[in-house]
Structure 1
Amino acid sequence: MKLMAFSAALCAGLLLAGCANEPVVAAGPTMPPPTSVAEADQRLAAVTRERAAIEARFVERERVCYQKFFVTRCLDDAKERHRTALAAQHAIEVDAERFKRQVRVDERDRALAEADARYRADEARLAAQPPAPPRAVTEAPPPRPSPVTERVAQHEAKIKQEQQKEAADAARRAANVRAYEERKKESDERQRRVRERLEEKRAKEAKAKGEKADALRQAPQQQPAPNGQ
């Protein structure tokens, strides 16, 4: 029993020694700030690659810790290494981004200063020149209508033209209707006169026939002469 207890204690001590002897990733010395945008971009790219490697190492350490006797202590140590490594990369990233922002600010300030210097130089040059003689006043050309106003005028002119065409068509249709009504009226009048003449003719013929019939009825009948006389 004593031998078994001693063996277990020895194994635990060896495991602890193994965990303790694994190097701890420290934050490391502070890196000097980058001296160019290209160097800052290179550091940012390296931070991206190193973060991926840190995550991979953390996953591997967790897998190893679950095979050890003191799992909790090993996991805590792995998490601390993971946090410390990420903090170091974050510091590098912050410095690189700060440098790039400062470069952009400096470039903006330099551009503004150059623009202001050009403006002041132009003002000084114009002030040193003699005044130009006054130009003859010419009548300004009439302002051209805006494209929108011109399109509206064209649209209104088109509508007015269509309205005039519709009015002319309506007047022509009305004239055609009146002419048709006049022709129909004349035709009806001619037919009425023809009917009247036919009726008068028929009445005269009927009257003549009646008179002839009356004459025939009123004429005395001739008696035949007796024989032998």
Structure 2
Amino acid sequence: MMAKTAQILLALAFLAGCSSHLRAPADTPVIAAPASVAAADAALAQAARDRLALEAAYARSEAECYERFFVNRCLDQAKETRRQGLVVVRAIEVEMERYKRQAAVDERDRKVAQAEADYAAEEAARAAEPPPPPRAAPEPLPERAPGISLAERKARQDAKLKAIAERERAEAPKRAAKAAEFERKQQESARRQAEIAAKKAEKAKQAK
């Protein structure tokens, strides 16, 4: 009988200390945040191993309890030890998953902020570029050459002016498209900045 009692006590001791993470908590344990996503993944893997160890230890203790006189008391003690261990395991899992979700959100915000910064730098560099040289004015009418009448010189000048006007009209849609695209990017940038500010405000509100 003494030998069986000693075996049960050893099993319960193993169940209570089967992992460095598993300590009997008074209430919900406070789990420190990991240093990185890799550390969170490692903690989750350890928690899974701890859970298996708890169940295995409980199964051994349960089998030995049926050989004792006070079966129910022994089973209750084994269940309580397992419950306390599982509380710690679950707390670790919850904290690690929360950390990983927050890390994913922070990484997304970082990429958005970096994209905004790159866009702003590109626009600033573009604005700092020197303006294009002014268009050359139409050449003045040459002095009347022998054999060219005033009407012919006027027709040539009109043809040049017409060509310039047609070129201006042809390039007008491109200029308008560039201006519209710039305006769209400015509005999109403002919208994204507003979304980031709103998310940060919501996070700060939840943290309180």
Aligned to 2:61: 61
Distance across 1 between alignment mates of 2:31 and 2:125: 50
Q: Paired residue for 2:124? A: 124
* SS state at 2:54 partner: helix
1:115 paired to 2:112: no
Displacement, 1:27? 3.0
Write the letter of the residue equivalent to 1:89: V
1:37-116 to structure 2, matched below 5 A, reads: 37-116=37-116
Matched, 1:27 2:24: yes
Once the two structures are TM-superposed, the CA of residue 34 in structure 1 deviates from its matched residue by: 1.1
Please tell me whether the aligned partners of residues 40 and 97 of structure 2 are also in contact (alpha carbons under 8 angstroms): yes
CA distance in 1, matches of 2:170, 2:127: 29
1:100-121 deviations in Å (ceiling 9; x for gaps): 1222122111111111111111
After TM superposition, give the deviation of residue 137 of structure 1 in Å: 5.1
Contact 2:31 2:91 in 1 (8 A): no
Decide whether aligned partners of structure 1 residues 22 and 55 sit closer, same or farther in structure 2, where only a CA change above 3 A counts: closer
Find the residue that maps to 1:72 and give its secondary structure: helix
* Separation (CA, whole Å) in 1 of partners of 2:50 and 2:39: 16
**What fraction of aligned residue pairs are identical, expressed as a percent?**
45
Partner deviation per Cα, 1:127-185 (whole Å, 9 max, x = no partner): 22244468935869xxxxxxxxxxxxxxxxxxxxxxxxxxxxxxxxxxxxxxxxxxxxx
Letter in 1 for 2:73: R
Quote the Cα distance in structure 2 between the aligned partners of 1:99 and 1:67. Answer: 45
What letter matches 2:127 in structure 1?
A
Distance 2:74 2:89 in 1: 23
TM-aligned CA deviation for residue 22 of structure 1: 4.5
Q: What SS does the corresponding residue of 1:33 show, helix, strand or coil?
A: coil
1:88 deviates by: 0.6
Output the CA distance in 1 between the equivalents of 2:99 and 2:57: 30
Residue pairs, 1:207-218, within 5 angstroms: none
Q: CA deviation at 1:73?
A: 1.1
* Pairwise CA distance, 1:91: 1.0
**Structure 2 counterpart SS, 1:34:** coil
| Distance in structure 2 (CA, Å) of the matches to 1:22 and 1:35 | 33
Bigger radius of gyration: 1
Q: Equivalences for 1:78-227 in 2 at 5 Å?
A: 78-132=78-132, 136=167
Q: Aligned residues, how many?
A: 128
Q: Structure 1 residues 139 and 113 mapped into 2: Cα distance closer, same or farther (>3 Å)?
A: closer
Residue 30 of structure 1, CA deviation:
4.4
Preserved contact between residue 24 and residue 84 of structure 2 (Cα < 8 Å): yes
1:49-90: per-residue Cα shift (whole Å, max 9, x none)? 111111111111110111111111111111111111111111
* In structure 2, C-alpha distance between the alignment counterparts of 1:91 and 1:82, rounded to whole Å: 14
With the length of structure 1 as denominator, give the TM-score of the two structures: 0.47
- Cα distance change on mapping 1:93 and 1:139 into 2, 3 Å: same
SS at match of 2:125: helix
